[in-house]
Amino acid sequence: MTASAPVIDIRDVSRTYGEGPPALADVTLSVRAGEALAVLGPSGSGKSTLLNLIAGLDRPSTGSVMVDGLHVDELGEAASAKYRRAKIGMVFQFFNLLDDLTVTDNVLLPAQLAGMPRAEARTRAGDLLESLGIDRHARAYPGRLSGGERQRVAVARALMNRPALLLADEPTGALDTASGEDVRELLAELNADGQTIVLVTHDLGLAESCATRTIELVDGRIVRDVATLTVNR
Amino acid sequence: MSALGRVVRAGVGRRRVQTAVMILTTLMAVTASVLAAGLLVASQAPFDHAFAQQHGAHLTGQFDGTKVTAPQLAATAHASGVTAAAGPFRTLSLRPRTTSGSDPLPAGADLPPMTVVGRASAGGPVDDTVLVDGTWATRPGQIVLAYGGLPLRPGAQLTFPDLPGSPTLTVVGVARSVTDTAEAWVAPAQAEALTAQGSTATYEMLYRFRHAGTDAQVAADRAAITAALPRGAMTGSQSYLTVKLQAVANTMAFVPFVAAFGVLGLLLSVLIIGIVVSGAVGAATRRIGILKSLGFTPAQVVRAYVAQALIPAAIGCVLGVVCGDLLAVPVLGDAGSAYGAGSLTVPLWVDVAVPAAALALVACAALAPALRAGRLRTVEAITVGRTPGAGRGRLVRRLTGRLPVPRAVSLGLANPFAHPARSATMAAAVAFGAVTVTFGVGLALTLGAVQSGRMLNSAGSVVVATGGGQQGPPGAQVVHVGGEPDAPKADPAEVTAALRTQKGTRGFYGTTQAQVSASGVTGATTVVAYQGDSSWGAPEMVSGAWLTGPGQAVVSTRFLRAAGIQVGDTVTLTERGRHVSVRIVGEAFFTVGEGMELLTPTSTLAALGLDSQPSRFNVETEPGTDLAGYLASLNASLDPTGAVAFANTSGTSDLIATMDALVGMLTLMLVAVAGLGVLNTVVLDTRDRVHDLGVLKALGMTPRHTVAMVLTSVAAIGLLAGAAGVPIGVALHAHVTPLMGDAAGITLPPSAISVYHLPDLALLALGGLVIALAGALLPAGWAARTGTATALRTE
């Protein structure tokens, strides 16, 4: 894949649930490799639906979703799981770490599910924890870490399989200001290193500091799509 | 509807799987318990009622008139422990022949010997017989038949060709004696007249005792009577307990194993209801907090959770009573009609007491978790969305994470340690299932062994019948019917010669049979006489040894009990005034002919002046012999003799088939409940972990991995609990099967009790794994299908 090839290619996607209004309506969106896209919008505007469609957690009612050359909307449950292992890293607002696994074991999970050799996985996890500054917590359980540290663990886990795309859903939404700033810097650094990121957030500051491009959704439609000046990069 | 009522209704309706599990488990437990208690009580009631009403004889004694006089016998009414006595009555063993035809019996049919008692009236202080039809015999020429014996009605005539002048008696009545003290009654003067000149006088005495509740008490009372008489005067006796046992044996044989299933079911009910209510409290902590914040008192919360268990349990109880009552109908069968009680049903009090006890147990099982709900602090409950793992099982999770197995498997292996109490209850449910399967399979194997061992004529693959009028299987009543002459019987010597020369014959023995009187046993006894080396076809011995020479006999436990004798004792056989004594050398297992047949060499029949020539040969062929070819060749050889050879096939017992069906049904029900217990636990566990499942799926766990993880989480429990349940099931089987034999009045041979072999046990141990996996399959599928986005939103 070349640097300018689209990692995400969404065409005429709509998603409706039951009889209600569409969560997404005729959305067409293309994200190129190396971009950091921030998706803004009020609650119920379709941000999470868009993220779920890209992650293969949901299917569009109409239209197509292609990620890194794969028709995500055509994948079955098992293929979709394998797709997430190989292509996607996910970071959530509430971290979604497994409380009864150590930090290392949490980070190792995607590699183990993908069948990565044990030694290679351990080396990779160690490198990630070190590079994210949380290697001293490797044997700790998530419940003992601060919010920012937990989100760093979540990011390490998301990056474990070297995904083509990092999806972050309100990654600073559950963090205090200092921790939020910490995560913001981390995401900016990752993007600077070439990681493609799709970031769903309410936080305009986060979008401005991390994203190279911002779209705004209102009632399931893209109402704004602009390049972002990232002052902190 | 009150607020509490609405909360209870909503709770029951919301947890449909758990509600169904509770209904099923109580249904199964109450069905088996009602059936067991119903059979136990209902089967004995008609006898007990009739015995009390008719002042039944606790002991019926037979006496040798050459050793004791009538006044001496009358004096035994004052022996220690005797509260009432009747007699002495003159007794005779006579062979009647029908002189008038009826539907079941044509004119001229020779009938087996019958015990006729000379008795002046139907009533009396002991054995107050009930006239079912006609009148009592008060004049010469009249006879009263016992109900359930010869199928003749008043007006029919019987002649006695063995007596001088072949006297003819007219049936004037049919009477019922609860303890079978005679097969017919005549007036005392008639009894004197029927006694053949020169024959030995015999007497019957009937006794009631102060203490006669057990075999030991009756035996002590009997000893007191014999001590008051000359040595050897009492030739036989029959305890009412033996008669009662024979009357209820078939039904009572069901009680031990059905009761075992009932107890297993009740224990499983308590366990499952405890799991369900405990799970409901754990999963609804926030709901409990909300209820309390709205003003529910702790007592109301407790009542709400106990009621949520009691409502489905009550439905299960009602259905269980109906099922138990319906299942009892075919098992009780016509046990009541023998005493005029009509068809039996489960007593009403059993239908009330059993479900009441079950509901009390359910309430107790639900109370502990309900009290926990009542004690929850409102502020804590309302802030907790779900019950976290509290950090349990982390070490195991770390250790299993290092195993060289797929991550889904290692995660599954560690899951049981996160909720040890829940896992323990799941293990208990699986263990109950394994116990049940082991017990049920063992019962089926035992019943199979009983089925194959119960017949006397099943030995050998070929049977040769010699034909002739006396032909019939052992135990059948042999009746010579007038009219067409019988086909001539083949010469047994020619049959023996043909069998010896036939290629492929490995061994054979001959049998014939006759019906004679046996001391200590009321009515005719079928004697099966053996000729030749029959050791290879002998029934399984319980004690003693098989026949090795003349003057010996082998009988079943039931015969020994009925005659009040044991191995080593002597039984006197009587036929037309001839007496032959045989020594009981062995106790064998067989149930054909109600287990009352006496097995002896043919020389015994010869000594009694009866035809001792074999009418049937059981033949064992050499291994690998082509049966069809052997039969064709043998029949060609036998053709000139008139004998016929055919393949040996044994029939099946309806009673054993009914038992097999019941065992299968109860086993399936209990195993299903155990599986549902697993299902319920895995559902609870999966719901608790739904958010973690969402995370794992978001990280790339496939549906197949999800199923593997959930199934792995129960597999180890299934294996361990299954392995633990098997020895308990074996022990339960070893305890219950002898009780079944005792209840039926038989002693099961070791081969019918030690039925488990190592490969069977290994397979049974895997039963726990199968139950656990089967129970977890549904929630595993549900976990695999759960949408990742939905799961991630679940708190």
Report the pLDDT averaged over residues B651-670. 78
Nearest to A186 by CA among A161, A150, A143, A228: A150
pLDDT digits (tens, 9 = 90+) for B421-432: 888 888 998 998
Kindly list the residues from chain A whose CB atom is less than 8 angstroms away from the CB atom of residue B397: 100-101, 105
Handedness of CA B68, B72, B74, B80 (dihedral sign): negative
The predicted pLDDT at position B387 comes to: 43
Q: Compute the average pLDDT of residues A96-113.
A: 88
Looking at A13-27, A190-204, B94-108, which range is the least confident one?
Answer: B94-108
User: Which three-class secondary structure state does DSSP give residue B578?
Assistant: strand
B696 touches chain A (CB under 8 A): yes
Q: Can you tell me the mean pLDDT for A37-52?
A: 91
Compare all CA atoms of chain A with the CA of B403 and give the residue at the minimum distance: A118
Min Cα distance A221 → chain B (Å) is: 21
Distances (CA, A) of B525 to A74, B95, B243, B482, B521: 84, 13, 15, 24, 8
Q: Contact B391/A143, CB-based, under 8 Å? A: yes
B631: pLDDT strictly greater than 80:
yes
A65-74, B489-498, B517-526: least confidently modelled range: B517-526
Q: Residue A141: list chain B partners with CB under 8 A.
A: 391, 394
Q: What is the pLDDT of residues B500-515, one digit of tens each?
A: 898 988 999 999 888 8
Q: Look at A136-150, B141-155, B234-248, B549-563 and tell me which has the smallest mean pLDDT.
A: B234-248
* pLDDT band at A10; cut points 50, 70, 90: very high
Question: Is B701 within 8 Å of A113 when comparing Cβ atoms?
Answer: yes
Which of B394, B689, B699, B709 should be substituted to probe chain A, the one whose Cβ sees the most A Cβ atoms within 10 Å?
Answer: B699
Q: Are B753 and B708 contacting, i.e. CB atoms less than 8 angstroms apart? A: no
Cα nearest neighbour of B695 on chain A? A96
| Residue B651 vs residues A90, B458, B460, B654: alpha-carbon distances, Å | 71, 9, 15, 10
A199, A222 contact by CB (below 8 A):
no
Q: What is the spatial distance between Cα B398 and Cα B392, in angstroms, rounded to a whole number?
A: 12
**According to DSSP H, which parts of B523-626 are helical?**
557-563, 602-607
| pLDDT for residue B40 | 73
Residue A161 with chain B: CB contacts under 8 Å: 700
More confident residue, B722 or B366: B722
E-strand stretches of B505-597: 505-518, 524-531, 541-544, 552-556, 570-575, 578-588
pLDDT in tens, A188-232: 988 998 999 999 998 888 888 889 999 999 999 999 998 875 444
Write down the number of H helices and E strands in chain A: 7, 10
Put simply, the answer to whether B792 touches A98 (Cβ < 8 Å) is: no
Average pLDDT over residues A179-189: 86
Answer whether B346's CB lies under 8 Å from B324's CB: yes
pLDDT of residue B338: 53
The predicted pLDDT at position B29 comes to 81
Q: Which residue of A has its CA nearest to B415?
A: A100
Distance CA(B463)–CA(B175), nearest Å, equals 42
Q: What residues of chain B lie within 8 A of the CB of A118, using their CB?
A: 404
The mean pLDDT of A136-163, rounded to a whole number, is 90
Write the pLDDT tens digit of every residue in B52-89. 888 889 988 888 888 888 898 889 988 888 999 987 99
Look at residue B469 and tell me whether its pLDDT is greater than 50.
Answer: no
The sign of the CA dihedral B498, B503, B508, B512 is negative
Q: Where in chain B is the domain with CATH 2.40.40.20?
A: 462-647
Res B653: pLDDT: 67
Q: B677 to chain A, minimum CA–CA distance in Å?
A: 26
Average pLDDT over residues B692-699: 88
User: Could you tell me how many CB contacts below 8 A there are between chain A and chain B?
Assistant: 81
Residue pair B578/B607 in contact (Cβ under 8 Å)? The answer is yes
Interchain pair A100, B704: CB under 8 A = no
CB B176 within 8 A of CB B207: no
* CA pair distance B224, B227, nearest whole angstrom: 5
Minimum Cα–Cα distance from A100: chain B residue? B394
Q: Does the structure show a pLDDT above 50 at B407?
A: yes
Compute the average pLDDT of residues B185-214. Answer: 83
Q: What is the mean pLDDT of chain B?
A: 82
Question: Is the pLDDT at B420 greater than 50, yes or no?
Answer: yes
* pLDDT above 90 (res B382): no
Residue B239 pLDDT greater than 70, yes or no: yes
pLDDT at B311 exceeding the cut of 50:
yes
Which one has a higher pLDDT value, B16 or B531?
Answer: B531
pLDDT attached to residue B385: 45
What is the helix, strand, coil percentage profile of chain B, to 5? 55, 15, 30
Contact B56/A at CB under 8 A: no
A contact set with B (CB within 8 A): 48, 52, 55, 57-58, 77-78, 81-82, 84-86, 90, 92, 96-102, 105, 108-110, 112-115, 118, 141, 143, 157, 161
Identify which of A52, A98, A109 has the shortest CB distance to residue B789: A52
Confidence label for B478 from pLDDT (cuts 50, 70 and 90): very low
Q: Using DSSP bridges, classify how beta strands A196-200 and A36-40 pair: parallel, antiparallel or unpaired.
A: parallel
Q: Does B704 touch chain A (CB under 8 A)?
A: yes
Confidence of residue B197 (pLDDT cuts 50, 70, 90): low
Q: What percent of chain B has pLDDT over 90?
A: 13
B369-408 burial, b at 16+ Cβ within 10 Å, e below that, comes to bbebbbebebeebbeeebbebeeebbebbbebbeeeebbb
Report pLDDT for A5.
Answer: 67
Chain B interface test: which of A77, A100, A103, A122 (most B C-beta within 10 Å): A100
pLDDT at B552: 94
Q: Please give the pLDDT value at position B472.
A: 38
The residue among B643 and B204 whose pLDDT is bigger is: B204
Query: Is B697 near chain A, with CB under 8 Å?
Result: yes
Burial B581-597, CB ≥16 within 10 A → b, else e? ebebbbbbbbbbbbbbb
- In the prediction, which pLDDT does B104 show? 62
Interval B472-492 mean pLDDT = 50
> Strands A213-218, B157-159: parallel, antiparallel or unpaired by DSSP?
unpaired
pLDDT-above-70 percentage for chain A: 96
Nearest CA in chain A to B709: A113
Residue of chain B whose Cα is closest to the Cα of A160: B699
Q: Tens digits of per-residue pLDDT, B715-765?
A: 999 999 999 999 999 999 999 888 888 877 778 888 888 889 988 898 998
Looking at residue A166, what is its pLDDT? 94
Q: Where are the alpha helices (DSSP H) in B745-757?
A: 750-753
Higher per-residue pLDDT: A13 or A132 = A13
Q: What is the pLDDT of residue B485?
A: 45
Distance from CA of A231 to the nearest CA of B (A): 32
DSSP A142: G
Contact across the interface for A113 and B788, Cβ inside 8 Å: no
Please give the domain boundaries of chain A with CATH numbers for all domains: 6-227 (3.40.50.300)
Please answer whether residues B320 and B31 qualify as being in contact, where contact means their C-beta atoms are separated by less than 8 angstroms.
Answer: yes
Three-state secondary structure call for residue B476: coil
Mean pLDDT score, B765-792: 87
HSE, CB side, 13 Å, CA atoms: give it for residue B168.
8
Q: Is the peptide bond before B88 cis (omega within 30 degrees of 0)?
A: yes
Please report residues of A whose CB lies closer than 8 A to that of B398.
102, 105
pLDDT (mean) for A175-192: 85
Give the residues across from B207 on adjacent strands.
B59, B85
The domain at B462-647 falls in which architecture? Answer: Beta Barrel (2.40)
Which of B394, B701, B785 is opposite residue A100, by nearest beta carbon?
A: B394
Q: Is residue A3's pLDDT more than 70?
A: no
Considering only CB atoms, which chain A residues are within 8 Å of B408?
113
Helix (H, G, I), strand (E, B) or coil at B616: strand
Lowest mean pLDDT of B119-133, B159-173, B475-489, name the range. Answer: B475-489
pLDDT of residue B105: 64
**What pLDDT does residue B4 have?**
64
Q: Given this model, what pLDDT does residue B727 score?
A: 94
Cα B328 from Cα B330, distance rounded (Å): 6
Test mutation, A52, A88, A102, A113, chain B, max B CBs within 10 A? A113
Is A89 within 8 Å of A68 (Cβ atoms)? no
| Chain A contact set for B393 (CB, 8 A) | 100
So what's the pLDDT on residue A1? Answer: 43
In what helix (H) or strand (E) does residue B373 lie, and over which residues does it extend?
A: helix B348-375
Q: Which residues of B124-150 are buried (b: 16+ CB within 10 A; e: fewer)?
A: bebbbbbbeebebbeeeebbbbbbebb
Of A8-17, A145-154, B281-290, least confident by mean pLDDT is B281-290
Return the pLDDT at B712.
92
CB B596 within 8 A of CB B521: yes
Measured over the CA atoms of residue B35, residue B36, residue B41 and residue B45, the dihedral's sign is positive
Nearest to A102 among B398, B406, B691 (CB): B398
Q: Is the sign of the CA dihedral B669, B673, B674, B675 positive or negative?
A: positive
Which band of pLDDT confidence, cut at 50, 70 and 90, is reported for residue B468? low
